[in-house]
Amino acid sequence: MDDFVKRYGPVALVTGASSGIGRAFAGQLAARGLDVVLVARRRDRLEELARTLRDTHGVSPTVLPVDLADPAAGKEILDAVARLEVGLLVSNAGFGVKGAFGEEDAAVLSSMLAVNCHAPTQLAHGLAPRLAQRGHGGVIFTSSVEGLMGCPYSAGYSATKAYVNALGEALWAELGPRGVDVLTLCPGATDTEAPRLQGIDPATLQDLMSPDDVARSALDHLGSGPTHIPSAHYRKVFDALLSMPRTEALTSMASSVRKVSQGPRADRAGDA
């Protein structure tokens, strides 16, 4: 059995597996020989993916259609995997809302907090003791470069991802000594359904990565947390921003977002 399967197998739980980065994670984990539990709302997408992974890689995927905005979703998933030996949690599902704070629908904001913060916390809370007891395993949280500093016109989303970054960093320090690798993945713009769902044409985004490249980069860096920015471009942008005095960095970010809202989005320093 190869080292990756020994360390993180036999089963990986992947949320947001019906599309984009989560679907790419599920495919690459199955290719590495792990069984996968596929979580998202769209059952048809999950079932189609499960069939493909079974036929292509000979693994035995489990399909779990769950709405992570439901506060009870974490418990439902943990109950469903209670008898499986989950060695890797990929907490990836999430979505964003763009625009002036206060103009978005309050109910959508609540769902975003539940999906982006509550569900990852509940899943990590249920699985961390099991992983630590085994003495090996991993957790990947898909956050965003927008979690690295407050992004105007994306305030709620940016704040949810800052929460994920703090959770991931804390668990990296807490679980690392117990043999569990924790990585907080901070993608920049990625070519998934997410930009289109927010009314953004992906062609206008700078240094767009494919979801496959983002997932591969995360899996290759799983033991090198606490955080990982897969795009060289966004690493450079955020290294520069984070080395500035905070007010200067925030002013620079705000002016880049203002420029973007008046013209092409190409120099936007954030994700979709």
Ligand X SMILES: NC(=O)c1ccc[n+]([C@@H]2O[C@H](COP(=O)([O-])OP(=O)(O)OC[C@H]3O[C@@H](n4cnc5c(N)ncnc54)[C@H](OP(=O)(O)O)[C@@H]3O)[C@@H](O)[C@H]2O)c1
Q: Which one of residues 94, 137, 138, 156 is an interface residue with ligand X (CB under 6 A)?
A: 94
Stretch near ligand X under the rule CB under 6 A, chosen from 63-71, 132-140, 233-241, 253-261: 63-71
54 touches ligand X by CB under 6 A = no
The residue (of 11 and 143) whose beta carbon lies closer to ligand X is 143
Question: Looking at 80-88, 91-99, 166-174, 254-262, which segment touches ligand X (CB under 6 A)?
Answer: 91-99
Question: Exposed, middle or buried, 6 (CB in 10 Å: 0-12/13-18/19+)?
Answer: exposed
Nearest to 270 by CA among 245, 233, 243: 233
Rounded to the nearest whole angstrom, what is the least distance from the CB of residue 201 to ligand X in the complex?
13
- Binders in 230-249 for ligand X, by CB under 6 A: none
Entry field: residues in the chain? 272
CB of 203 to ligand X, least distance (A): 13
Q: Which is nearer to ligand X, 132 or 268 (CB)?
A: 268
User: Which of these, 125, 96, 128, 132, lies nearest to 113 by C-alpha position?
Assistant: 96
Evaluate whether 99 touches 153 at the Cβ level (below 8 Å): yes
- Of residues 99-138, which lie at the interface with ligand X (CB under 6 A)? 115
Residue from 42, 54, 75, 125 that binds ligand X (CB under 6 A)? 42
- Inter-axis angle of helices 106-113 and 155-175, to 10 degrees? 10
Q: Which of 11, 18, 118, 241 binds ligand X (CB under 6 A)?
A: 18
Q: Is 40 in the site for ligand X (CB under 6 A)?
A: yes
Residue closer to ligand X (CB basis): 12 or 17 = 17
**Smallest distance from the beta carbon of 235 to ligand X, in angstroms?**
14
Residue pair 59/31 in contact (Cβ under 8 Å)? The answer is no
Distance, CA of 97 to CA of 159 (rounded, Å): 11
Closest CA to 141 of 177, 190, 74, 94: 94
139-198 residues near ligand X, rule: CB under 6 A: 142, 144, 187, 189-190, 192-195, 197
Counting contacts by CB under 6 A, is residue 36 touching ligand X? no
Give the sheet arrangement for strand 227-228, strand by strand. 62-65, 35-40, 11-15, 86-91, 137-142, 180-185, 227-228
Catalytic residue set: 157, 161
Q: How far is the CB of 93 from ligand X (least distance, A)?
A: 4
Residue pair 219/26 in contact by the 8 Å Cβ criterion: no
Which of 22, 126, 137, 225 contacts ligand X by CB under 6 A? Answer: 22
Smaller CB distance to ligand X: residue 134 or 166?
A: 166
The count of other CB atoms within 10 Å of the CB of residue 241 is: 19
Alpha-helix residue ranges (DSSP H) falling in the chain: 3-8, 20-31, 43-57, 73-80, 106-113, 119-134, 155-175, 193-197, 211-220, 232-243, 246-262
| Minimum CB distance to ligand X smaller for 35 or for 190 | 190
Question: Following CA atoms 86, 87, 91, 92 in sequence, which dihedral angle do they give, to the nearest 10 degrees?
Answer: -110
Site residues for ligand X per CB under 6 A? 16-22, 40-42, 45, 67-69, 92-96, 115, 142, 144, 187, 189-190, 192-195, 197, 211, 271-272
